[in-house]
Amino acid sequence: QAVLTRLPSPSLFGSDIDPVLLAAAYQTRSRFRFALTDPKKQRFEVPHENVGPFSGPAASNLKYKVDVQQNPFGIKVTRASNGKVLFDTTIGPLLYAEQFLQLSIKLPSSNVYGVGEHVHKQYQHDVRWKTWPIFSRDAAPSANMDNLYGVQTFFLCLEDNTGASLGVFLMNSNAMEFALQPAPAVTYRTTGGILDFYVFLGDTPEQVVQEYVKFIGLPALPSYWTLGFHLSRYDYGSLDAVKAVVERNRAIGLPYDVQYTDIDYMEGRKDFTYDKVNFKDLPSFQTYMHDYGQKYIIILDPAISTEALADGSSYQAYERGQSKKVWVNESDGVTPLVGEVWPGRTVFPDFTNPDCTSWWTEECKIFYNQVPYDGIWIDMNEVANFVQGSSNGCEQNELNYPPFTPHVVDRLLYSKTLCMDAVQKWGRHYDVHNLFGYSMTLSTQRAIETLFPGKRSFLLSRSTFAGSGKYAGHWLGDNAATWDHIKWAIPGMLEFGLFGIPYVGADICGFYENVTEELCRRWMQVGAFYPFSRNHNTKKCTPQDPAAFGADSVLVKSSKHYLNIRYTLLPYLYTLFYKAHTQGDTVARPVLHEFYSDEATWSVDKQFLWGPGLLITPVLDPGVDIVQAYVPDAVWYDYDSGAKIWLRKQWTQMYLPADKMGLHLRGGYVFPFQQPATTTVASRKNPMGLIIALDDNNEAAGELFWDDGESTGEPLSAS
Ligand SMILES: *[C@@H]1O[C@H](CO)[C@@H](O)[C@H](O)[C@H]1NC(C)=O
Ligand SMILES: *[C@@H]1O[C@H](CO)[C@@H](O)[C@H](O)[C@H]1NC(C)=O
């Protein structure tokens, strides 16, 4: 510990904190933590399940060395093995005021990856003065540098071609900015809470991710069926229309496990209700799906309507929540804050309140007893509100109008969400806004444990925070059917791998806008290799489920071909998820994680790997059948033909006509497989086998994890 006193200088935003207390700990041999707090007053700290006090013995045999510089204060973390400075805050001053905290870090290289949620367009950051706002927001991904749904404050830095890497995580949930500079350096600039930094050292990028993810929470092991293909759209209009889509995709023999209904299944878009006219048979829909070995997932939004049902009867879910007083309150701490979302006037459940979790769990159960379902998709949990702050506006005060506002969308913190002075159990919305989706995930996980005891089910969340991956997967939000979006999905997906949320994918064929056959065909090809593989579409757009393009279309033929390969390789994919779940490995893996000694891989983001062994090279441009692709330094075999390709460590022109994408198996690996079928219920009964891809020495090795695919208990067998 050390006490830091402020050097004389003009105040930037007022209310400077002086002195500041520094606490630091050698937590493990590869993890260093330090925090800066106000010794005179308790400031907001994220009540994260994995953060503890500074206590316990110091780790020994450290991979790092720490030096603290005085006048002015700075902290330097050095790699013990080679003396390289990895993390150096002496590049800029520490600023610590009531609502403005800033620290800059000089880095050993400009190979920086991560931090979100944004569309970065490229996986390797551009360090030429780019400032990214971080604040959870219901905003559609676009070319703008907008803050999007989730809050992820972790980045990885590859030091050099030895693979040595570091990771940096700031545990802070306030609205903030992350600025990259060419020094190379980064600056975290946040509007509250404390500065609580974690520095992770690894010998490889994978090791850094493992260290980080072990700290914030190892990702959930998905149930096997959730690795199948999913179909969804907003506004099918009726259950008959849903069934027609299900039937036509069954009829073409598409590998397909999961069907969703979006908010149009509800009555008046109210959670825990269903449209008794257009979806009158919804109570038997799960059985209809199960009869074919398929599953059914519902959507739930946080906002709860305050109004009665159409027939004048009371809306029970609201009434019960009201009597338990589980809503987010206005600044007075007692009046429920009212806003407006899909169902009209709404209140917002305070998922940081344990009573709210009990109420939510109970509502999920009551609805399940009417309309059985297999998993839950939670949306709009940034939290989204269609009026600014509340129906009564927001007061003029320093929470709603802080002295410094990061470059968030609209430059107004309460835009499209709640007033910042709203009151929740964990604290003011100002401090806990970025935890809304995370807390809703925790509550919904409780509901799932109650509904499916001993089973893993399915949970998908739009808004995430550090540690969300322990319970939920994520999709990249409301993208659009454009060639830009198909490209941006790969960096986005790789970033969520770094954040410990490996069960991730973008909406295949795009959510907004009408998709062309060509784009949808290319997207079905690459999407067959998203860890979370779902085709989802918005209202009023032309249908984009594969069968809609005609049973004899190239799109259907190609979609079936690649989904069959996905289903064939599910034992390999499932094993990768097991390794993510037990050690924090990535699943959809950046090429540089395997081939870091080759600088050419450091910026590859139009290709990716499944684990160490399957190289995926999609077509991401229109009118193209030749792709500029990188072949990393290994022996590779073409998946379809088994032929060895006689190139390595070079760029090549890959010929990928309309029905084809690049898929290559890496020599040295064994891939467990199973004969595919149109559902995982059926495929799991088929014979299994091994694809053995030999390396230069005619050797190969691999692993298989196998169990019943859904139990939460100890694995039945592992090898
Ligand atoms: C919100 O107000 C109700 C009274 O209406 C109160 O019982 C509840 O504890 C408050 N919740 C919070 C988080 O302040
Ligand atoms: C999509 O196509 C439909 C039917 O042709 C048309 O009505 C709709 O306006 C189109 N939507 C967009 C976003 O272009």
Ligand 1 pocket, residue 337 CB under 6 Å: no
Residues with a CB atom less than 6 Å from ligand 2: 513-514, 540-542
**Which atom of ligand 1 is least distant from the CA of 333?**
14
- Provide the pLDDT for residue 52: 87
Q: Which two tokens stand for residue 76?
A: 């330097």
Q: Supply the residue whose CA is at minimum distance from atom 10 of ligand 1.
A: 334
* Shortest-distance ligand to the CA of residue 331: 1
Rounded to whole angstroms, the Cα distance separating 504 from 607 reads 16
Q: Supply the residue whose CA is at minimum distance from atom 4 of ligand 2.
A: 542
Q: Could you tell which of 235, 509, 541, 544 is best to mutate to test the pocket of ligand 2, judged by most ligand atoms within 8 Å of the CB? A: 541
SS3 content of the chain, % helix, strand, coil (to 5): 25, 25, 50
Rounded to whole angstroms, the Cα distance separating 107 from 335 reads 47
- Provide the pLDDT for residue 56: 87
- Provide the pLDDT for residue 48: 95
Q: Supply the residue whose CA is at minimum distance from atom 4 of ligand 1.
A: 334
User: 160, 158, 141, 157: which is closest to 149 by C-alpha?
Assistant: 141
Q: What is the 3-state secondary structure (H, E, C) of 35-87?
A: EEECCCCCCCCCCCCCCCCCCCCCCCCCCEEEEEECCCCEEEEEECCCCCEEE
Q: Could you tell which of 331, 334, 429, 436 is best to mutate to test the pocket of ligand 1, judged by most ligand atoms within 8 Å of the CB? A: 334
**Which atom of ligand 1 is least distant from the CA of 352?**
13
Ligand 1 pocket, residue 479 CB under 6 Å: no
**Which atom of ligand 2 is least distant from the CA of 514?**
1
pTM of the entire predicted model = 0.98
How far is the CA of 513 from the CAs of 137, 264, 269, 523, 548, in angstroms? 21, 19, 22, 14, 16
- Provide the pLDDT for residue 377: 98
Ligand 1 pocket, residue 331 CB under 6 Å: no
Q: Supply the residue whose CA is at minimum distance from atom 5 of ligand 2.
A: 542
Q: Supply the residue whose CA is at minimum distance from atom 2 of ligand 1.
A: 334
Ligand 1 pocket, residue 329 CB under 6 Å: yes
- Provide the pLDDT for residue 22: 98
Using an 8 Å Cβ cutoff, are 661 and 562 in contact? yes
**Which atom of ligand 2 is least distant from the CA of 513?**
13
Ligand 1 pocket, residue 111 CB under 6 Å: no
The pairing of strands 533-535 and 229-231 is parallel
Using an 8 Å Cβ cutoff, are 171 and 217 in contact? no
CB count in 10 Å sphere of residue 626: 12
* Shortest-distance ligand to the CA of residue 537: 2
Instruction: For residue 539, report the distance from its CA to the centre of ligand 2, in Å.
Output: 10
Instruction: For residue 354, report the distance from its CA to the centre of ligand 1, in Å.
Output: 12
End-to-end CA distance of the chain: 46
* Shortest-distance ligand to the CA of residue 336: 1
- Provide the pLDDT for residue 622: 98
* Shortest-distance ligand to the CA of residue 347: 1
User: 99, 132, 94, 100: which is closest to 113 by C-alpha?
Assistant: 132
pLDDT along the chain (719 residues), means of 10: 95 96 97 98 96 91 97 97 98 97 98 98 98 98 98 98 98 98 98 98 98 98 98 97 98 98 98 98 98 98 97 97 98 98 98 98 98 98 98 98 98 98 98 98 97 96 98 98 98 98 98 98 98 98 98 98 98 98 98 98 98 98 98 98 96 98 98 98 98 98 97 60
The pairing of strands 95-97 and 636-638 is unpaired
User: 627, 626, 616: which is closest to 666 by C-alpha?
Assistant: 616
**Which atom of ligand 1 is least distant from the CA of 328?**
13
CB count in 10 Å sphere of residue 446: 18
Q: Supply the residue whose CA is at minimum distance from atom 10 of ligand 2.
A: 541
Question: Which residues, 6+ apart, have CB-to-CB distance to 430 below 8 Å?
Answer: 174, 191, 192, 399, 402, 413, 420, 421
Question: Which residues, 6+ apart, have CB-to-CB distance to 523 below 8 Å?
Answer: 486, 508, 509, 510, 515
Ligand 1 pocket, residue 324 CB under 6 Å: no
User: 219, 201, 210, 218: which is closest to 585 by C-alpha?
Assistant: 210
Instruction: For residue 336, report the distance from its CA to the centre of ligand 1, in Å.
Output: 8
Q: Could you tell which of 329, 358, 436 is best to mutate to test the pocket of ligand 1, judged by most ligand atoms within 8 Å of the CB? A: 329
